């Protein structure tokens, strides 16, 4: 059930793929239910790349063969922190500065992490806490969020 489930009309069963044959001019109610346990939210009802509704309950008149797709977005908690309290501050997407910052961001969204060095310290690099790998040497690190879980944690390493 990754992002969520759908059903057609209130008496239909929930599932990840549902279809219904309707006479031309007939009405149906499309319903979507996000998997909030895994931090998904409902984005909208789409036909191709066109969004028709942001409402999880969408009533529509059917005049031709058409496929509506319910799209869901995953919300990830991004955390950035300083390796040492004296080294400097961090921020996420232009927010406020601090030694520990968190922000809820949708999967696939562009993220910008920034550092601000304190006197006597030098920024050495951004590290992914989960993998331990250095991801950037730049004070400004931009990336498209592609987390495997519900969190993504990075730290800014400062040296004295």
125 with 90, same domain: the answer is yes
- Which of 74, 89, 123 is at the close of a domain? 74
Quick check: helix, strand or coil at residue 37? helix
What integer pLDDT is reported at residue 1 of this predicted model? Answer: 55
Question: What are 74-117's pLDDT values in tens digits?
Answer: 999 999 999 998 999 999 999 999 999 999 999 999 999 999 99
Structurally, the chain folds into a number of domains equal to 2
pTM across the whole model: 0.78
What integer pLDDT is reported at residue 109 of this predicted model? Answer: 95
79 with 155, same domain: the answer is yes
26 with 40, same domain: the answer is yes
95 with 68, same domain: the answer is no
DSSP bridge partners of 39: none
Residue span of the structural domain in which 100 resides = 75-159
- Which of 74, 91, 114 is at the close of a domain? 74
What integer pLDDT is reported at residue 28 of this predicted model? Answer: 94
Question: Which residues does the chain have with pLDDT short of 50?
Answer: none
């Amino acid at each position: 059930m990754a992002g969520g489930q759908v059903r057609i009309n209130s008496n239909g069963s929930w599932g990840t793929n549902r279809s219904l044959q309707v006479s031309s001019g007939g009405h149906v109610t499309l319903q979507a239910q996000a998997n909030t346990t895994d931090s998904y939210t409902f984005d909208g009802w789409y036909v191709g790349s066109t969004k028709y509704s942001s409402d999880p309950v969408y009533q529509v008149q059917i005049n031709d063969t058409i496929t509506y797709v319910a799209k869901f977005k995953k919300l990830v908690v991004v955390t950035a922190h300083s390796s040492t309290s004296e080294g400097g501050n961090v921020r996420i997407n232009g927010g406020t500065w601090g030694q520990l910052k968190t922000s809820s961001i949708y999967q696939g969204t562009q993220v910008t992490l920034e550092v601000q060095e304190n006197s006597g310290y030098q920024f050495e690099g951004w590290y992914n806490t989960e993998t331990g790998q250095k991801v950037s040497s730049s004070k400004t690190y931009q990336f498209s969020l592609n987390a495997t879980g519900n969190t993504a944690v990075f730290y800014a390493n400062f040296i004295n």
